[in-house]
Structures are given as C-alpha cells and as structure tokens.
Amino acid sequence: MLDLIKKSLYLGLGVLTLTKEKIETLVDELIEKGQLSKEEKPKIMQDIMQRIKREEKALSTKVKTIVKGVVNEVGMVTKSDIRELNSRLDEIEKKVTKAGNH
C-alpha cells in the first residue's frame, strides 16, 4: 500500500515537471502575442515555479499525514517501532548476559 502511495506521489511530482515545460511554452506564447515582454519571462517563471514548490511541499506534507494515519489505523509496524524494539531487546540481552556471568 505504501508503494502505491509513493508511486502516486512521484507521478504527481512528474506532472509538476511537465507542468514547468508547459508553463514555459505558455509564457513563450504570451510573449509571441505581445502580452508579455521577454524581460518579464524570468520573473514570471520564477514566481510560478516558487508557487509550484510551495504546493509540492504542501502536498508532500498532506500525503505524509495521510500515510501516518493509515499506518496507525491499520496497525502497521513502522521503522521507528522496529528500532525501538531492537533497542529494548539489546538492553534485555545485556541484562541476561550480565546475569548469566554472575
């Protein structure tokens, strides 16, 4: 299930990349029509790309929140859960080894 979510996110990011190319094409068309000057293009592209990056971060945050909720709801074990259990097992192993040496 996580792979599906990751693939969906990557697909969305790929679409954003394609969007940059389309935006550039549209800006070029506006320049050709005389609605924008060539000098305005870098500023407009920068503004649009910054907006896309903000939206991308917001999307990423939302996806992470949703995934965490799904993981908690389904009861899936996370990497941090495994790390915590391994740490606790290491502590128990040390105590057992120490007790066995006495």
**pLDDT tens, N- to C-terminus, the chain (102 residues):** 555 555 565 566 665 665 778 888 888 888 898 888 899 889 888 888 888 788 778 888 888 888 888 888 888 888 888 999 999 999 999 999 988 876
pLDDT at 13: 60
Q: Is residue 47 in some structural domain? A: yes
Which helix (H) or strand (E) segment holds residue 34: the answer is none
Q: Is residue 92 in some structural domain? A: no
pLDDT at 82: 93
pLDDT at 5: 55
Give residue 38's domain range.
2-76
Q: Is residue 42 in some structural domain? A: yes
Please state the domain count of the chain.
1
pLDDT at 26: 82
Q: Is residue 81 in some structural domain? A: no
- The dihedral sign for the CA sequence 68, 71, 77, 79: negative
